[in-house]
Amino acid sequence: MRSRVSAYNHKKTNSMPMFMSVTRIPLLLASLVLGGCASTHHNPQDPFEPFNRGVYQFNETVDKAIIKPAAKGYNAVMPVPGKMMVSNFFSNLNDVIVTINDLLQLKIVNAVADGGRILVNSTIGIYGLVDVASQVGLEKHNEDFGQTLGYWGIGSGPYLVIPFFGPSSIRDGLGLYADIRTGVLRRVSPVDTRNQLYTTNLLSRRADLLEKEKVLEEAMIDRYSFVRDGYLQRRRSLIYDGNPPREKFEDDENDSAPDKTSANDHEEGMQPAAAEAAAVVAPDAAVSAEPSAPRQPGVYRLWVTEREGRR
């Protein structure tokens, strides 16, 4: 009898650490959620900032541990002509999504040009491996379903960082889903081949960003805020086709002389940083932001200062 009781107590004692470890997981998640809800939000566009920062750190960890090393290996193994052909191939597939959204935005001229790109590159360009269309004057455009929703006046909602995809918003997350559903790669079978194409596309895009990510390393500010503000600014520019309406800052009201700087001048200074910073964190994302999104003057002026210093 004593041996049975002893065995039972021993089994119960050994099971306690496992039980405690299991119960700690939901308690930890609950504490993170409650802690995030109790935080003070400084940016009205980013009410989910505690959650977004957590996802941002997760994406950074995955990128540093897996994606970035694989992209470096891809860069080292693949010759330059091969990298160009891979990039052109996936760019040609993306032109299908661009053409669809051209039509949804009633941009008929752009739709004809982008449809012509698909025809020329898929035939003369050998399935898109060579970008013949650009050489004959057919300019590539950048359109997605998130921009289409913004074009028709649908607000983006709060800023949102999506696991593995990066910067987004409520509206543009739906747009990303729609673009993936209508993409050519989704119709590739078998599934193993499709996944290999997705992986190759990811590595190709991430490899192109290895040099551009230096802009984040040089920015002596909060990386998360820099990426968020730059990303929102770039997407706002895309929705307005590079010509967004002039924004008025609080500092402008205190200036005695009126500010004559045009919106295009502001975009010229900020958009390169925005494009690079957002793409580094979300190399495969195709998402957008609120058209009326306010820009953060501090980030913009830091970029302009750095840019002028390099001239």
46 inside domain: no
Expressed as residue numbers, the domain containing 213 is 145-245+261-311
Task: DSSP letter for 63, please.
Answer: I
- Number of structural domains, the chain? 1
Tokens of 260: 């004559």
User: Do 122 and 138 form a contact (C-beta atoms < 8 A)?
Assistant: no
In terms of C-beta density within 10 A (0-12 exposed, 13-18 middle, 19 or more buried), how is residue 307 classed? middle
* Res 42 pLDDT > 80: no
When pLDDT is cut at 50, 70 and 90, the band that residue 62 belongs to is very high
The greatest distance separating any two alpha carbons of the chain, rounded to the nearest whole angstrom, comes to: 94
Mean of the pLDDT values across residues 18-39?
41
133 inside domain: no
- The model's pLDDT over 113-159, given as tens digits with 9 standing for 90+, comes to 999 999 999 999 999 999 999 999 999 999 999 999 999 999 888 99
Which among 264, 234, 235 has a CA at the least distance from the CA of 247?
A: 264
175 inside domain: yes
**Predicted pLDDT of residue 311:** 45
CA distance 110 to 103: 8
101 inside domain: no
292 inside domain: yes
**Predicted pLDDT of residue 204:** 95
Indicate the helix (H) or strand (E) that contains 167: strand 166-169
25 inside domain: no
Among 10-14, 142-146, 302-306, which range has the highest average pLDDT? 142-146
